[in-house]
Amino acid sequence: MASVKLKINDKNYTVEVDPKMPLLWAIRDVVGLTGTKYGCGIAQCGACTVHLDGTPVRSCSIPVTAANNKNITTIEGLSTDNSHPVQQAWIQEQVPQCGYCQSGQIMAATALLKKNPNPTDKDIDTAMQGHICRCGTYPRIRKAIKTASQLMGQKASAK
Amino acid sequence: MKADTNESKIFKVSRRDFVKTTSMSISGLLLGISFSCSDTAKKLSGNPEYVFSPNLFITLNGNGDVTLIAHRSEMGTGIRTSLPLIMADEMEADWNRVKVVQAVGDEKYGDQNTDGSYSVRMFFTPLRKAGATVRLLLEQAAAKEWDVDVSECKAKNHEVVHSSGKTLGFGLLAEKAAALPMPEESSVKLKEPKDFKYISKQSSIVDLKDIVTGKAKFGFDNNHLPNTKIAVVKRNPEPGAGLKSFIADNAVKVPGVIKVFTLDAPGFPTTLNKPLGGVVVVAENTWAALEGRKALDVTWNKGMNADYDTKSYNNAMLKSVKTKGKVRRENGQVDKALASAKKIIEADYVVPLLSHTPMETPCALAHVHDNACEVWAPVQDPQGVRKSLAEALGMDLKNVTVNITLLGGAFGRKSKPDFVVEAALISRTMGTPIKILWTREDDIQHDFYHFPSAQHIKVGIDENNKVTSWLHRSAFPPIDGTSNANAKEASGAELSMGMIDLPYAIENVCCETQEAEAKIRIGWLRSVANIHHAYAVGCTLDEVAKARGVDPVQNMLDLLGDDRTIDFNSLTSEFWNYSEKLEDFPWSTARFRHVIETAKEKSNWGKSLPKGSGQGFAAHRSFLTYVACVVEVAVDANNKIRIPKVDYVVDCGVPVNPERIKAQFEGGAAFAASLALKSEITVSNGAVQQSNFHNYQVGRMSDSPYETAVHIIESNEKPTGVGEPPVPPFIPALCNAIYAATGKRVRQLPVRLA
């Protein structure tokens, strides 16, 4: 057992867990935040994506100890009121069908846009290739990323 | 068999009755719907005013708040929005004042088995009637209040307006409306389609905001019961073959593991509603349960399918369709016509086992205590789950409560209750609430797979370039084979999905089947037997067009013949019209023709494309919905296939929620592309060889259509479903496009061009 300090969505947690426990299960089972999803357990589908110090990671495949003292952002921490431009774009384009993979998709899209505010189709393909959606919302995800890019541009120019 | 909802009846629920069954305090107008199949209906037939255990589809409170029941499961189709929307529209409620509440699984809600693209088709009219009844009661209440004739009162946007201009809000009228007698059914008038305010208009799904903030609750997200433990099960790689022995010493040493024990199960065939059995590991958290399972040392029995190998099995099916089978539809004399044909088109088609792989794997929370069971689970068939639980636990149905969470995708997988039954049996043993998780490996290796199949089609063309004969043979293990070892023959319903419902005006038609035995659990996957039948038929039609030297769209129109309704019952005794009578939902070649012609126009069919690109066409009616599809592909020098554009034309009658219809078709294209291009389950020595998304591949963003345009035919016909119909025509359209682009015919899935 290890004592690990997790800072999730600006809140501090200390968890006593098996040091090998993947971050996903620490977030879900121990901390109790369920927005981050299990999909494959081997970093193939992207459903469990969270940000670790701003970088998107597969929480199913990194041990909880790797997140010690780092800033973790989950879907719940993106905004409390749907106000994040990516969430706004997802609502505007009505992306979700069943919705299960969308936490991971949104976290990946957010990270992409932070790094690359105006992604091309190819950039989007590359960034989102690791994220499976069995409902097939891919065209709307693409559209929503472009919409979010515009919304963020407007926000930036308004400042 | 589905309930005949034409005989639905709207009833008022008295507060006295309501408080008998629930602790909720409620005032205002309460309305239920009874369906002819339901318990409620049986009770109603004795005394139309008295219902002991009412369902409550519509509740209008004194403050004007409206609660509408969603009784079908939400797996991504938007049904949790679309059905309440129908009620809200007819009652003239303001959608912003509406709260949607998910019903538990209970026969009083009528049919809740969310499969077969049934929901809108089945409930459009009953739900409209319910909404319209509320509207009339509110208008009558206002008329009484104002002492005017009801004809002067019109409900509009959450209030009743008098012709003089004065208004009364729905909330103020609720109690008064509740005190009125139920109106005669004949006095309840449904809206004219032109007056719809939500039906056929744009709207967002009710769960949209919860989904994008991570608040939406799926099956594994319920943490509200104290002392909940996590369970996983290790199952025999050969489904149903059973356990020989196990050593749990290392497993129980894993920190957090609480208990290891066996879960018994019937052998093969496993049935559709019982768990597979195996060794259960219960732990404090998911990780401990998984680590404990990894540490198990298990010896499995070999079962009756220990030698099951898909390669030799599929070859045997393929061989079988080369010879005469059991005749399932016969018109004219195919053999004679083929013998005198000038040209023969002949091909075989093979489709592998396919897995559903919804993003949310099977999972559930169950709590068995004090001779009662309550579960929270992502299930398509909550009443079936309730019955299976009662049977497995030896409990009265009334002591079993099934709460339905959101389903993280389902595609047919979650119409089976096995994983929920597992959770309940484990909870009973443990005496604590149990959350069960199927890992992706569990899901891929122990699914109820889409049938493996082999088909042979032979078509004769005469000297006048006319198609005169069509011979179609199909071999695949029926779904029934999962429950019954003697069931080796596809059912009429399975064959009416794309084979014996061939609509073309061909004089000599013969459809035959060969027997095939289920060697693994077979179940329905989005669009079911239409997947392989539409693929073979759609590709053959393209080959026929080529042989006739006619454009594929024109070829199909030629074959379709004059506008008519087809009496399939006179063509074969085994025809099944998706549980509907042909007189209620006729097979209209005119509607089929219209989607075909519209697709030709909308897709700019025949446009010039660069080398390596091509368009393909197919059309198919399934689940009573008419669909035409044009797929454009671009194949590069490395045989990498891209899909720049898809055009769908759909005639699903009244389009209830056009935005979600489009979503279903966009998603259906991606789903079908995934099946055709990526996915294959193979079995060796009785065990599935794939385990996760690295070797059971599914479509990702770059594999999926870049743009899917969905053209919805305006119609006042009865609405029909859209969940499954996008899938069948896509695969042949894709393969025909690949032929146009490369000159290669695709006769085996998944597509392998190299």
Domain extent for B44: 9-212
Phi then psi for B668, rounded to 5 degrees?
-65, -35
SS3 B437: strand
Q: Which residue in A49, A72, A100 has the most chain B C-beta atoms within 10 A of its own C-beta, making it the best mutation to test that interface?
A: A100
Measured between beta carbons, which residues in chain B are less than 8 angstroms from residue A32? 223
Report pLDDT digits (tens) over B6-54: 457 777 666 555 444 444 445 577 777 766 544 444 444 433 333 334 5
Separation between Cα atoms, residue B201 and residue B660, nearest integer Å:
10
Cis peptide before B269 (omega within 30 of 0): yes
Could you tell me if B186 and B240 lie in one domain? no
DSSP annotation of B450 reads B
Cα torsion through B295, B300, B305, B309, rounded to 10? 40
Nearest chain B residue to A122, by CA: B702
Could you tell me whether strands B687-688 and B565-566 are parallel, antiparallel, or unpaired per DSSP bridges?
unpaired
Nearest chain A residue to B218, by CA: A100
Q: How many domains does chain A have?
A: 2
Give the end of a domain, one of A77, A108, A139: A77
The per-residue b/e assignment along B346-364, b for 16 or more CB within 10 angstroms, e otherwise, is eebbbbbbbbbbbbbbbbb
Could you tell me if B345 and B380 lie in one domain? no
Report pLDDT digits (tens) over B689-698: 999 999 999 9
- Per DSSP, which regions of B483-601 are E strands? 508-514, 565-566, 587-588
Could you tell me if B529 and B669 lie in one domain? yes
Could you tell me if B386 and B499 lie in one domain? no
Q: Which is nearest to B241 in space by CA: B2, B446, B104, B536? A: B446
Could you tell me if B490 and B367 lie in one domain? no
Q: ipTM score of the complex?
A: 0.98
What separation, in Å, do the N-terminal and C-terminal C-alpha atoms of chain B show?
45
Nearest chain B residue to A85, by CA: B212
| Subunit contact B216:A29, Cβ cutoff 8 A | no
DSSP annotation of B54 reads -
Measured between beta carbons, which residues in chain B are less than 8 angstroms from residue A101? 359, 408
Q: How many domains does chain B have?
A: 3
pTM of structure: 0.95
Confirm whether B660 is domain-assigned.
yes
3-state SS of B173-241 is: HHHHHHCCCCCCHHHCCCCCHHHCCCCCCCCCCCCHHHHHCCCCCCCCCCCCCCCCEEEEEECCCCCCC
Closest approach of A156 to chain B, Cα-based (Å): 22
Measured between beta carbons, which residues in chain B are less than 8 angstroms from residue A94? 204-205, 208, 659, 663
Report pLDDT digits (tens) over B254-264: 999 999 999 99
Could you tell me if B405 and B550 lie in one domain? no
DSSP codes, chain A: -EEEEEEETTEEEEEEE-TTSBHHHIIIIII---SS--S-SSSSS-TTEEEETTEEEETTSSBGGGGTT-EEE-HHHH-SSS-SHHHHHHHHTT--SS-TTHHHHHHHHHHHHHH-SS--HHHHHHHHTT---TT--HHHHHHHHHHHHHHHHHHHHH-
SS3 B131: helix
Could you tell me if B292 and B406 lie in one domain? yes
Measured between beta carbons, which residues in chain A are less than 8 angstroms from residue B440? 39-42, 44-45
| Subunit contact A100:B217, Cβ cutoff 8 A | no
Could you tell me if B133 and B279 lie in one domain? no
Could you tell me if B500 and B643 lie in one domain? yes
| Subunit contact B663:A94, Cβ cutoff 8 A | yes
- Range in B111-115, B558-562, B569-573 the model is least confident about: B111-115
Could you tell me if A13 and A60 lie in one domain? yes
Nearest chain A residue to B645, by CA: A139
Domain extent for A31: 2-77
What was the pLDDT predicted at B15? 56
| Subunit contact B75:A99, Cβ cutoff 8 A | no
Which band of pLDDT confidence, cut at 50, 70 and 90, is reported for residue B109?
confident
Q: Which of A28, A98, A136 sits opposite B666 (nearest CB)?
A: A136
Which band of pLDDT confidence, cut at 50, 70 and 90, is reported for residue B110?
confident
Cα–Cα–Cα angle for B555, B558, B560, rounded to 5 degrees:
110
Residue with tokens 């169950």: B366
Residue with tokens 């080796």: B488
Separation between Cα atoms, residue B291 and residue A24, nearest integer Å:
15
| Subunit contact B213:A124, Cβ cutoff 8 A | no
Give the end of a domain, one of A11, A46, A77: A77
Could you tell me if A35 and A70 lie in one domain? yes
Give the end of a domain, one of A46, A77, A108: A77
| Subunit contact B669:A47, Cβ cutoff 8 A | no
Separation between Cα atoms, residue B249 and residue B247, nearest integer Å:
6
Q: Give the CA distances from residue B527 to residues B451, B547, B557, in Å, rounded to whole numbers and listed in that order.
A: 12, 30, 24
Nearest chain A residue to B363, by CA: A38
| Subunit contact B208:A91, Cβ cutoff 8 A | yes
Separation between Cα atoms, residue A33 and residue A62, nearest integer Å:
17
Nearest chain B residue to A46, by CA: B359
Report pLDDT digits (tens) over B281-298: 999 999 999 999 999 999
| Subunit contact B221:A134, Cβ cutoff 8 A | no
What was the pLDDT predicted at B382? 97
Could you tell me if B556 and B430 lie in one domain? no
3-state SS of B158-181 is: CEEEECCCCEEEHHHHHHHHHCCC
Measured between beta carbons, which residues in chain B are less than 8 angstroms from residue A90? 212
Report whether A18 contacts B288 (CB < 8 A). yes
Q: Which is nearest to B213 in space by CA: A131, A70, A34? A: A34
